[in-house]
Every structure is written in C-alpha cells, then in structure tokens.
Amino acid sequence: MNNAMLLKASGLSKSYPGVQALDAVDFDLNRGEVHALVGENGAGKSTFIEILAGSIRPDKGKIVVEKTPYDFLDPVKSIELGIQTVHQENRLVDGLSIAENIYLYNLHTNQAGFFSRRDCLRSSRELLQSLRIELPPHREIGKLSPVEKKLVSVAKAFSRKAQILILDEPTASLDAQGTDILFQIIREHTRKGLSVIYISHNLGEVFDIADRITVLKDGKKINTHRIKNISEDALVMEMIGRSVSSLYHKDKTADEFENDDQYLSVEHYSRQGAVDDVSFTVKKGKIFGIGGMVGSGRTELARLLFGLDKKDSGTLMYCGKEITPQSPDDAVRQGVGFLTEDRKTSGLVLKRPIFENISLVELGKKMQVFINLLFEKNQTGEMSRKLNIVTPSVNQLVRNLSGGNQQKVVLAKWMFANADILIFDEPTVGIDVGAKAEIYHLMYELAGNGKIIIMISSDMPELIAVSDLVGIMRAGRLVSVLENEAISEENILKYCLGFDERNV
C-alpha cells in the first residue's frame, strides 16, 4: 500500500472575538493511517476538523489534498475530495428509515427521476453488510438505540467515496460490541487505503487504534508522535501539564461518617424486562460505583430510583425514613439528584444562561411567585466560581460552554438544590482529561461532606479509582458488590461477562 502523504495542513489559524481558536497549526495525514488528534476541550480540535469539513473558513494557512493546494474548503469541495465526517452528535432524521438517512443527500432515482425506495434499500443493505453492521435498512431511525444510530452515521459516511474519514468522539455512545465493530471497520478499510483522523478523550482506545497522535493545546500544536514512541503518562503531561496518576488521586473522604449508621438502602427494585430485584446499601460519605455492560440495566435502575420510570416494586430508605420517589418532582423534594448521561438533552437548557440552569431545580422546589434576579445571579455566580466554571459571566448561554464546563453546570444545579443523594450516569463521557480530574475532585468533596453518590460508569479506571464499592449489573440483576482489594479490572470483567457462573 502507498503510504504517501494524502493531506497536509500548514499554518492554519482561526480567531474569534477574544479567542484564538487555532494558531498556526501544522498537520499531515498519510494514506492508510489512523492519526489521532487529542487535547483538552477548547484546544482547537473541533475548529480544525470543521475547517477540513468546509464548515469554517480559516483566517490563514493552506490545505493540500493529493498535492493540490487550497486556501480553504467549502462543504461541497470537501465531500468532492472524499473527506467525510462523523460528528460526535448524530445528524440523522428520526422519522426516516436507515436507508433513507444513509442516502439522504444522494437518493436513488428510477428512470422517470422519482425516488426508488427499492434501490435505496438494496444499496443500503449491501453497504451495511459490507461493514458488518447487522441492522435492517427499513427500520426507522427514531426506534434505534444510541449505539445503532452511531453505526448508521458511520455507514452514512461510507455511502459516498471516502478517502479521509474524520471521527469525532465516535465511541462516546457505543458499548464494547459497538466499539469492536467500529475498530474492525477502521482496520479493514485503512488496510485498503482509507485515512482516518480520530478524535477522542478516551486515551486507551487512542493507543489501541492510532498510528500517530498530535497534541493540541490552547489552539497550538504541541507535538506529533508515533504512538509506539510515547506513553500515556507522557501524553497527558503534554495535554494538561500533569501526570495521568493525578487524575485518579483520591482525596481522603468520609472518615467522620465511618461509624455513622446513616445510610441509603435500595430495597428490591424491579421493573419487568429491565431490572430484577436489586438491593444494596450505601453509607453517608461513600461513592457506590455501578459497572456492567451496556444493556445490563444500570441506567434503567437509575431511572427507577429517580422516579422517571414506573417500577413494579422497590423501596428507597434514607437515614431510616422511606423516601421512595414516585416521580422526578418527588425525587427532588426528597433530596435525590440525577445527572443524566446525555447532559445536552436531559440535563441542561442549552439556550438559556448559566445562572438559570444552576437555579432551575431549587426554584422549582420553592415554586415562588416572584424571583429575585439579583439574588439569583449572585448566588449562582458564587456556585459557578466554586466549581471553576470557565466563563466570562453567568449570563453566558450554556450551549457556548465546553463539555466539561457543561457537566459542571449540571453538578452545580444539584449542589445549589442541596441534594443529599446524587446519581451520576457516565459523569465524564466526552470530557477532556483535565476536566475529569476536576469532576472527580468535586465528587470526593461532596462525599467528604456526607453526600451519598451512586456512579454509573463504563470507564474501568474511573470505576476502580473513584468508587468505595462497586456493584456489578448483568441482565438486570446486581450480581456482585466488590470492595477494597476485590475492586479490580479482572473481577469487574469476570462478573460483567458472567465468568463467575462458569468458574465457581
């Protein structure tokens, strides 16, 4: 295979009022390689790939594709050159079928010029089979899981001739099986000459799939390495200026509650087809992690605990008092908070300012006729500063914040409402390594103040390092609770995959 350079970007710069998003960045991509692009939120990764996709015009610089130079690309030219982008957020139409979404901008027509559903279904079936994606092309997008939608987005990118595939956080909504399918697709097609620009905050998968890696920080290129020539610790040092071990440095928490008999008791929670008789207890000041494969019932359990879904059975006791929520409103009044996995659709009001998002739950609890805006802004501003939310003002719209700062706003909302029990569902998905460390520190601080935290996570190092106890869900059941030295990657995988039932 010819490994000649396919794309070269030289001196790309882009500024906005008060912000230098990209500052003279150089980047090159060889034919048939996976070149990862990493950096904290705000490092310039999104600006860079949008320039390549033709959505943003650079202020300065050159882009060379197959030896032809361009001052800038527009979306049509980018697609014409074979540059296809799979964005972090799926850009699919829920009311249309898989086949119609795949060929939405290139619909099949018959001799009379009308849309041919039969040809569209046939072509999409062949494409999905070639990518080993087992989905029926006639199924409606709105009925798919997040994992299936992501795989359709990947298939859509392959529906046109692609020689450069840009993947932006492609595994954020994928389970282990979906990630394996994606990596098989990448490896198979890079062997055939496809080139991939791979953006991810998951450094483990970057080291698994990438050939080279480029680090951006504050809009500048820091370095490019062959993946075999750099360690994860050295990479994190370049990205954030401190070692990877510092991300999981656990603060001393909850000693003063060690002999306290105050705890949360989850008793016999069930919902047919989702959760099967789950019970566990968590003491004040402790972090109870929940592991398991996607589909094991983890999120379904969290939704039951918060009163979002109707349960068949189950009682929630806190400090000897029953607080079983019958609805989310009831949960809020009982001091239960839920930080959902999809913060943008169910955790935040993106088109409203920070201060309104932070005060939303507390104001809902009080149901006041009049609101003191000055008091609200002062109080939420103090919370914003405490959590180090990076923003010029609490009047800033939440949609303009980075992923890490958006997650801090969600956490600030529940802290402002003084929730005693906090359920975190995948708290650091799509968040850079620096913001992760801040989220962990805030969780430790909350536990140290006597809060009870239930944390669902698919990130193994996170689950092991952050949790005091780890419960493992499988097929809707809580199959084991690990503590102390028993909390290990080997044990978590054993119970997640069911090896415990075969090796007892």
356 pLDDT higher than 50: yes
- β-pairing verdict for 60-65 and 5-16: antiparallel
Position 369 scores a pLDDT of 47
Position 271 scores a pLDDT of 93
pLDDT > 90: percent of the chain: 37
- β-pairing verdict for 469-474 and 477-483: antiparallel
What's phi and psi for 375, nearest 5 deg? -65, -45
The closest of 461, 442, 421 to 331, measured between CA atoms, is 421
Mean pLDDT across the chain: 85
Task: Check residue 285 and give left, alpha or beta (phi > 0: left; psi -120 to 50: alpha).
Answer: left
**495 vs 13, more confident:** 13
Q: How far is CA 196 from the centre of its chain?
A: 20
59 pLDDT higher than 90: yes
Give the E-state strand segments of 124-244 in sequence order: 164-168, 195-199, 212-217, 220-226
DSSP H or E run through 382: helix 373-386
Distance CA 162, CA 461 (A): 35
95, 108, 115, 119, 379 from 138: Cα distances, Å: 12, 15, 15, 12, 52
Residue type, 7: L
Distance CA 433, CA 315 (A): 37
**343 vs 229, more confident:** 229
> If you average pLDDT over residues 367-388, what whole number do you get?
72
Which range (361-370, 398-407, 481-490) has the least confidence? 361-370
Distance CA 194, CA 263 (A): 54
pLDDT category, 473, cuts 50, 70, 90? very high
Distance CA 174, CA 151 (A): 9
Position 301 scores a pLDDT of 95
Token reading at 194: 């496809």
pLDDT > 70: percent of the chain: 88
- Neighbouring residues of 372: CB distance < 8 A, sequence distance ≥ 6: none
Q: What is the pLDDT of residues 75-86, one digit of tens each?
A: 999 989 999 988
> If you average pLDDT over residues 75-99, what whole number do you get?
87
474 pLDDT higher than 80: yes
pLDDT category, 249, cuts 50, 70, 90? low
503 pLDDT higher than 50: no
Position 504 scores a pLDDT of 39
> If you average pLDDT over residues 142-151, what whole number do you get?
85
Report whether 14 contacts 56 (CB < 8 A).
yes
Position 414 scores a pLDDT of 86
pLDDT category, 196, cuts 50, 70, 90? very high
Q: What is the pLDDT of residues 100-136, one digit of tens each?
A: 888 877 766 666 566 677 888 888 899 898 888 889 9
**21 vs 435, more confident:** 21
Rounded to 5°, the CA angle 278-282-286 comes to: 140
Position 502 scores a pLDDT of 47
Position 492 scores a pLDDT of 87
500 pLDDT higher than 70: no
172 pLDDT higher than 80: no
Distance CA 472, CA 458 (A): 11
pLDDT category, 247, cuts 50, 70, 90? low
> If you average pLDDT over residues 167-192, what whole number do you get?
85
Q: What is the pLDDT of residues 33-53, one digit of tens each?
A: 999 998 876 788 889 999 999
Token match 């994190």: residue? 236
Reported pTM: 0.64
pLDDT category, 321, cuts 50, 70, 90? very high
The closest of 136, 132, 147, 226 to 188, measured between CA atoms, is 132
Give the E-state strand segments of 319-466 in sequence order: 321-322, 336-339, 421-425, 452-456
How many other CB atoms are there within 10 angstroms of residue 314's CB atom? Answer: 19
Residue type, 407: Q
- Neighbouring residues of 346: CB distance < 8 A, sequence distance ≥ 6: 340
Position 111 scores a pLDDT of 61
The DSSP letter of residue 109 is: B
384 pLDDT higher than 50: yes
> If you average pLDDT over residues 343-364, what whole number do you get?
82
Token match 């094991």: residue? 296
Whats the size of the chain, residue-wise? 504
- Neighbouring residues of 413: CB distance < 8 A, sequence distance ≥ 6: 337, 347, 357, 358, 359, 360, 361
The burial of 168, by beta-carbon neighbours within 10 Å (0-12 exposed, 13-18 middle, 19 or more buried), is given as buried
Position 347 scores a pLDDT of 80
Question: Which domains does the chain carry?
Answer: 5-244 (3.40.50.300), 245-335+420-435+448-504 (3.40.50.300), 343-419 (no CATH)
Distance CA 491, CA 504 (A): 13
The burial of 310, by beta-carbon neighbours within 10 Å (0-12 exposed, 13-18 middle, 19 or more buried), is given as exposed
* Residue 436: strand, helix, or coil: helix
Report whether 236 contacts 205 (CB < 8 A).
no
The burial of 23, by beta-carbon neighbours within 10 Å (0-12 exposed, 13-18 middle, 19 or more buried), is given as middle
DSSP of 112-154, one letter per residue?
TS-B-HHHHHHHHHHHHHHTT----TTSBGGGS-HHHHHHHHH
Position 467 scores a pLDDT of 92
Which range (50-54, 110-114, 343-347, 475-479) has the least confidence? 110-114
Rounded to 5°, the CA angle 144-146-151 comes to: 85
